[in-house]
Structure 1
Amino acid sequence: MSWDDDVMANVSDELFWDPKVDSAAIAVSADDGTVTLRGTVGSLREKREARKAAQRVFGVNSVDNQLKVRLLGGQGRSDSELRGFVLQALMLDSLVPATVDAKVKDGFVTLTGTVSWQFQRDEADLIASSVAGLLDVYNEIEIVPPAPNAADTQESIKKAFKRNAALDADELQISTRDGAVTVKGAVRSWAEHDEAIAAAWAAPGVTSVSDELTIKY
């Protein structure tokens, strides 16, 4: 059995053991560490959970998520109704500021507005994607934080890397320019990759993170 066959089998098993995913509806293929997911699922949340499950598998370098969302159980709703549900959900979440707005067209929601932190942007995306009846979420929220000193931003990220037991800080390099951060280096898994990117986003004043990390098993 080839390496790709092993990866494909392990991803299929991981999908099967994830209760949030209907693995019977998902076809898996693998090519040189790139896993492709195809099929139809009943919600946007399930599509995203399938991607996360695939990324947890050893040997997976990237996931091409081609899953289609087909609304099941009569969940079809009008765009105006969906927008109302999304805005209500955002309003009830204390982590999402009132500066975030949403528009819906043909079942696809676009988030707009401004926030001060990436975690607020992520939270809005998570909340919107959990609304039943949506086909996908496009996050166009802008981050507009106070402008810190670039050196302070870079140093705070380096310290965050060193504090994190899940990261090998010596293998990571950081550069910053006007709030834009670039993270380079090698990590040992998708979990370590996500930890590094999250640490970079958590620094004050960061408006974008360029991910140039490579996964080396």
Structure 2
Amino acid sequence: MTDEALALSVQDELFWDPKVDSEEIAVSADDGTISLRGTVGSFRQKRDARKAAERVHGVVYVENELTVRILTKSRRYDADLRGDVLRALLLDSLIPTTVDAKVSDGYVTLSGTVDWQYQRDEATFVAGNILGVTGVDNEILVGGDGSTVGEVADDIQKAFKRDAKIDADSLTVAASDGKVTLNGSVRSWSEHDAALAAAWAAPGVTTVNDRLTVSY
């Protein structure tokens, strides 16, 4: 697929996604890498625009350079915004009370510790949905016990084989002291995300080094 055709496909996908206002988004492509530029009205739209681009066949990487421009009527004081973020985190049963948030000019920084990566992801998702948030920086640490050993690598490989999205034979896993490293190639971003989720689900994992490449 040519760069022009790939950029057009991404533009079509952005237009097709009802959650994204694609009117002010410019798309360019360079050898499978998509660049998104322009403005959107919320951090959630910026996140959804990236996900839409990653769904397109032929995309190997997305540079999300979109700027969140909050309309005057939707702008919030940082103190009020922080209060809303903290309440939303507290009301989500997946997120432990060890997670904290600070806000500066609409930009949220999350901190604290959690036991699992899915809790860290959930905190980012919840904070990014709050009206007035312009960005989210996740500094939450996954506080596993660091007990990851060779057997866990085998367990992750078995999880790959159970998942219909993943070609387990194309991936390798190394694990030591809570750190997991994934190598190999995947056929789509959906497969990439599924592989990372499977690795993070292993007990004791504190870090996942993502060395996967998307190839077609």
Pairwise TM-score range, normalised by the shorter structure: over 0.9
Distance in 2 (CA, whole Å) between partners of 1:191 and 1:36 is 19
1:56 aligns with 2:55: yes
Map of 1:114 onto structure 2:
113
Determine if the alignment matches structure 1 residue 160 to structure 2 residue 159. yes
Taking a change above 3 Å as real, the CA distance of residues 214 and 149 of structure 1, as seen in their structure-2 partners, is closer
Secondary structure in structure 2 of the residue aligned to 1:21: coil
Q: Deviations over 1:49-98 (max 9, x none)?
A: 00000000011010010100001261111111111000000000000000
Aligned pairs, number: 216
Q: Which amino acid aligns with 1:8?
A: A
Give 1:1-217 correspondences, 5 Å limit. Answer: 3-72=2-71, 74-217=73-216
Question: CA 1:105/1:149 → structure 2, altered by over 3 Å: closer, same or farther?
Answer: closer
Letter in 1 for 2:202: A
Q: TM-score, normalised by structure 2?
A: 0.97
Question: For residues 15-72 of structure 1, what are the alpha-carbon distances to aligned partners after superposition, in whole Å with 9 as ceiling and x for unaligned?
Answer: 0000001111100000111100011100000000000000000110100101000012
2:154 maps to a residue whose letter is E
| Cα distance change on mapping 1:149 and 1:201 into 2, 3 Å | closer
Q: Alpha-carbon deviation of 1:165?
A: 1.1
CA contact (8 A) 2:184 2:213 kept: yes
The amino acid that maps onto 1:147 is G
For structure 1, the residue ranges without an aligned partner over 5 or more in a row are none
Q: Distance in 2 between matches of 1:203 and 1:182?
A: 13
SS of the residue aligned with 1:66? strand
Output the aligned Cα RMSD.
1.0
Taking structure 1 as the reference length, what is the TM-score of the superposition? 0.97
- After TM superposition, where is structure 1 displaced by more than 2 Å over at least 4 residues in a row? 146-149
Matches of 1:32 and 1:191, distance apart in 2: 20
